[in-house]
Amino acid sequence: MQLKICAVGRLRAGPEAALIDDYLRRFAKTGRPLGLGPATVTEIDERKAATPEAAAPALVSALEGCDRVITLDERGRALTSRGFADMLAHWRDDGARTTALVIGGADGLHADVLDRANLSMSFGKMVWPHMLVRVMLAEQIYRAAGILAGTPYHRD
């Protein structure tokens, strides 16, 4: 099952981009034998998507062909790392070919995007900068593959 990170905003070169690339590269290596990956990133230009309403058409278009959709939202469900891994494995085993993970802009996601979600997920009650959310998501994707592969990266 491929993963597609859809995010409002462009990530510039820097430490966040380096971390994301590193985690997604690790995920590709660990996930491949498990039927997971690769993970790609689709960015929506925030200058053309300054509001949730303006971003919605581009995000909905990016979700075409995705069997499952996870939106990241502060009001979403908080999962454990193992719960996230188990959910990805369950969707993979149910035949999902592509799962999208959606990160909105500073003002969140429009209802048109939220309505497409199979799950709305939160990284806690705090609000995080969107570039850090990308890093955290990439790390959790890699961690999920590690959990499913039984590597020592994740400790219960």
What is the CATH class of 2-149? alpha beta
Model pLDDT for residues 101-150, shown as the tens digit of each residue: 999 988 889 999 999 999 999 999 888 888 899 999 999 999 999 999 99
Q: Angle at CA 19, nearest 5°, toward 85 and 66?
A: 45
Q: Against a cut of 0.95, is the pTM above it?
A: no
Model pLDDT for residues 63-115, shown as the tens digit of each residue: 999 999 999 998 999 999 999 999 999 999 999 999 999 999 888 899 999 99
